[in-house]
Structure 1
Amino acid sequence: MIISSHNIKSAHHRSFALRFLVLLLLFCCWGFAANAQYFDFTDKRKHVTIPFKMVREMIIIQLNINNKGPFNFILDTGVGLMLITDPKLVDSLNIPNRRTLKIAGIGEGDDYEAYATSALDIRVRSLRSYDVAAAILKTDHFGLSNYAGMPIHGLLGYEFFNNLAVKIDYADSTLSVWRPKDIKRQKNGTKVHMSVEDRKPYVKAKVTFTDGHKADNKLVLDIGAGHALSLENISEGKGLPAKHITANLGVGLTGPVSGFLGRIAELDIGKFKIKNLITSFPQGEQFKKLSIKRDGNLGMGLMKRFSMVIDYPDSALYLKPGPNFNQPYEHDMSGMEYYGGGEDLNRIIISRVEPGSPADQIGLEKGDEILAINIKPVKNMSIEQIDNLFKSQNGRNFLLEVYHDGKKDDVLLTLKRRI
């Protein structure tokens, strides 16, 4: 049975909806003091190393809640309040004190409902939470497990970083955590000033567009966003690069978020100059509703190129280039969006095909299932491995075995760089 993509509303670009959801919960439903929720060490140690999985540009860590788990959470500096997206955790965590919240205006359709919890006991290795509460969605509207191809139970952001200095090393997939006074700075790391406003970190950067004009930008440091750079205040008639493509960028408070993908000439942050960077240009009015004026955000497509230390207490970001810093930036060259389906989340179901793209030209459609790539069954591949294949090389050919129109078929997909 082919799973309909209707069940994973915009999982591919879920960040818009989640950011708005958390902002709404935080400022309309809670009265917590900004410094009340944090993590600290459970003993006298000064440092802990936490392994993580990198899946589709997301940092996934394991944690325990109320002596249950482990659960898989996305570490996300763009989230101002802990969010549990798996409704089944309501019963398994034995949360007696909770109240229901109505969340209006997120996308199309009826209001969403969530539970507001009392403080939870959250453990991450030798770290524990203090006064950290969460919102638990009554229905999983975002399909993060399908998007990741593995169980995802929620997102953790501000509270994890609020009291600690956190080094993220993508080369060996580890977090190193200290109290700020104990951390030994990276000797050759570049310090970039970072402000924390409304529970989110902001940095300044200069953007040079392909037509030569420059702009100073205030950007959210958002390690939960998969793109490299998103610029929100660029209109279709003014400022877009000459070469761009229409893109589906997800769902926000007021409905679908559409926009464009293109490249900028250069991004300057600290002493680093990143050239020919793929950039998202979302369109719409929803960004005018944000409480903090900003120009966009920096996501994992860029930040994974660095080893970095995020230090909220010291208002600092330390950057050191990683081994893949100079690799070119590429986007998907197939024209397909897809997710993990089935009980084990190891079936690859197409949720969208871009008109005129290579996938569209060979007749692939929403709802088709990819069974094998170059004879290798996709159930033996991670969803991230598949992503990497489809943005690997312009002109590269793949033999796909697909389930289409009620039967199996073999098709030849030729990748094409579109931006």
Structure 2
Amino acid sequence: MLAPLLAKAQGFKLPENQKFEKIKFELINNIIVIPIDINGTELKFVFDSGVSKPILFNLSDQDSIPINNVSEVTIRGLGGGEPMKALSSQGNTFKLGKARNYSQDLYVVLDKGINFSTSLGIPVHGILGYEIFRDFVVEINYQSQHIKLHNPRLYERKQNKRSQTLPLSIEKRKAYVEGTVLMRDSENIHVKLLVDTGSSDALWLLHQPEKGLEIPEKNYEDFLGRGLSGDIFGKRTKVSGVKIGDFELKDAKAAFPYRESFGYIQNFGDRNGSVGGEILKRFNFIFDYQSGLITLRKNGNFKSPFQYNLAGIDLQHNGLRYIAESIAGLNGVVRDDDNSSFGNVQILLENKTRLSLVPEIIVSGIRAGSPAAEAGLREGDVILAVNGKSVHRYKLQEILSMLNEKEGKRIKVLIERYNKDLLFTFVLKKVFDDDD
């Protein structure tokens, strides 16, 4: 009689005596996307250490996901928008590999405007984090793109000369690590940073002049990301360096988000900012929430240059569109394009022309004064090709890389505007001079 009751115990667990479960993930724009089963439905979630409860969104008319014990609530995330209505659901079954939770709470956001799939380029249905970190010792290998969920009862900590273990404080279901920011005037400032695997950016700092965190003179206004409550803007800049433990990253990319993006947070306490995926991906981590420890070891990404939006263009998916292509050869053989992320519907017309259903990529934002803006590109333009390469053959992040390859690169962008094809050319420029 006790077996059903024990099976319903809250929290994620592995099968008895299993030491760990290994799960592959996709790293997209510095963000970890993992597969998860919720009440029998296979979904993809962002693995976000900055979120306290799982949130399900981006439900389409085709999705069929049973959820249990529902009531209405109001929630709010980062961004300057208003709080949103959501459903609170209890007693759901979550499966992550062989890890199981038979009584998981979650929020369901019904607002179709909340959709991270358009900016990531793959279908993403939600975010989760804290419960996984709470119930396991979580090892994240950014380089090989896998996570190990270690059974805390059976986990044995190993010593490694190339690794360093630091204190990790857990406050209100969020993890914080201490570090040092080296400002442009060579002043070293001790900081307490939120560890945010759900952020694609590098380093966010709060504007706290009284603590020495003043916005450097060299900066520009930029789109920093998208939160549950809207878009986040701030001042993009860089600092002389950031240190976590003994590891130092020089000339680190940084940003100071505008205060209104955190409107729902009344008191930051002793927090000074957050560290996101563009820095985190340079290490492999072991998070041990129960012991209050984090172990980090630099990997092959450590010396990778920080990526800036040199072109000044933000892109997103905007549904699907048909394109017509002539078939090379007369035998009617259709070459196999990789559009698996959003389907690959094709129609063959008289063995001469192929109609393919492909993602439509549009300019979702453009930075004032950027090379793309000065060339004449506008928000809403449909991107057809970059440097002669048809964009429907590439993933969204690959297209962004083409647009921001290196300083001095000449970029040619073919777009569609009001049913006309237009070609724009611009040269990529550094956003900061070498002597900044």
TM-score (normalised: structure 2): 0.81
1:104-183 equivalences in 2 (<5 Å): 112-180=84-152, 181-183=154-156
Q: Percent identity?
A: 28
CA distance in 1 between partners of 2:308 and 2:219 (Å) = 12
1:244-393 equivalences in 2 (<5 Å): 244-249=219-224, 257-284=232-259, 286=262, 289-290=266-267, 292-343=269-320, 344=342, 346-393=359-406
Backbone CA RMSD of aligned residues: 2.6
Partners of 2:207 and 2:213 within 8 A in 1:
no
Query: Aligned letter for 1:258?
Result: F
In structure 2, the CA distance between the partners of 1:104 and 1:340, relative to structure 1 (3 Å rule), is closer
Partners of 1:194 and 1:203 within 8 A in 2:
yes
In structure 2, the CA distance between the partners of 1:176 and 1:256, relative to structure 1 (3 Å rule), is closer
Residue matched to 1:4 = none
CA distance in 2 between partners of 1:186 and 1:411 (Å) = 55
Residue 347 of structure 1 and its aligned partner are, at CA, apart by: 2.0
1:55 paired to 2:32: no
Partners of 1:149 and 1:341 within 8 A in 2:
no
Partners of 1:307 and 1:322 within 8 A in 2:
yes
Residue 280 of structure 1 and its aligned partner are, at CA, apart by: 0.8
Partners of 1:168 and 1:309 within 8 A in 2:
yes
Other structure's SS at 1:135 match: strand
CA distance in 2 between partners of 1:303 and 1:233 (Å) = 22
Tell me whether 104-113 or 162-171 shows the greater mean CA deviation.
104-113
Between the two proteins, the alignment pairs up a number of residues equal to 383
Residue matched to 1:8 = none
CA distance in 1 between partners of 2:79 and 2:177 (Å) = 29
Query: Aligned letter for 1:122?
Result: F
Partners of 1:162 and 1:313 within 8 A in 2:
yes
Deviation string, structure 1 residues 75-106 (Cα, Å, up to 9, x no partner): 00000111101245997222242011234798
CA distance in 2 between partners of 1:78 and 1:280 (Å) = 18
CA distance in 2 between partners of 1:231 and 1:296 (Å) = 4
Residue matched to 1:418 = 431
Deviation string, structure 1 residues 90-136 (Cα, Å, up to 9, x no partner): 97222242011234798677652111001211001111125321000
Residue matched to 1:211 = 185
CA distance in 2 between partners of 1:335 and 1:225 (Å) = 19
In structure 2, the CA distance between the partners of 1:374 and 1:396, relative to structure 1 (3 Å rule), is same
Residue matched to 1:200 = 174
Query: Aligned letter for 2:274?
Result: N
Partners of 2:204 and 2:256 within 8 A in 1:
yes
Partners of 2:386 and 2:402 within 8 A in 1:
no
Residue 416 of structure 1 and its aligned partner are, at CA, apart by: 1.4
Partners of 1:346 and 1:378 within 8 A in 2:
no
Residue 308 of structure 1 and its aligned partner are, at CA, apart by: 1.2
Tell me whether 388-397 or 97-106 shows the greater mean CA deviation.
97-106
Tell me whether 38-47 or 155-164 shows the greater mean CA deviation.
38-47
Other structure's SS at 2:92 match: coil
Other structure's SS at 1:309 match: strand
Greater RCO, 1 or 2 (C-alpha within 8 Å, sep 6+): 1
In structure 2, the CA distance between the partners of 1:383 and 1:106, relative to structure 1 (3 Å rule), is closer
Residue matched to 2:40 = 67
Deviation string, structure 1 residues 347-400 (Cα, Å, up to 9, x no partner): 211011111101011100000011111222111111111232333310112222
Tell me whether 334-343 or 175-184 shows the greater mean CA deviation.
175-184
1:28-107 equivalences in 2 (<5 Å): 38-69=11-42, 71-88=43-60, 92-103=64-75
Other structure's SS at 2:368 match: coil
Residue matched to 1:231 = 205
CA distance in 2 between partners of 1:369 and 1:185 (Å) = 52
Query: Aligned letter for 2:125?
Result: H
Who wins on radius of gyration, i.e. which is larger? 2
Deviation string, structure 1 residues 31-65 (Cα, Å, up to 9, x no partner): xxxxx953220343112110000111110010111
CA distance in 2 between partners of 1:57 and 1:260 (Å) = 20
Query: Aligned letter for 1:211?
Result: D
CA distance in 2 between partners of 1:307 and 1:106 (Å) = 27
* Unpaired segments ≥5 residues, structure 2: 1-8, 321-341, 343-357
Residue 141 of structure 1 and its aligned partner are, at CA, apart by: 3.0
In structure 2, the CA distance between the partners of 1:54 and 1:256, relative to structure 1 (3 Å rule), is closer
* Unpaired segments ≥5 residues, structure 1: 1-35
Query: Aligned letter for 2:51?
Result: V
1:407 paired to 2:379: no
Deviation string, structure 1 residues 236-281 (Cα, Å, up to 9, x no partner): 9972112111113357799764320111111111111111001011
Query: Aligned letter for 1:55?
Result: I
In structure 2, the CA distance between the partners of 1:365 and 1:63, relative to structure 1 (3 Å rule), is same
Tell me whether 296-305 or 342-351 shows the greater mean CA deviation.
342-351
CA distance in 2 between partners of 1:235 and 1:291 (Å) = 15
TM-score (normalised: structure 1): 0.85
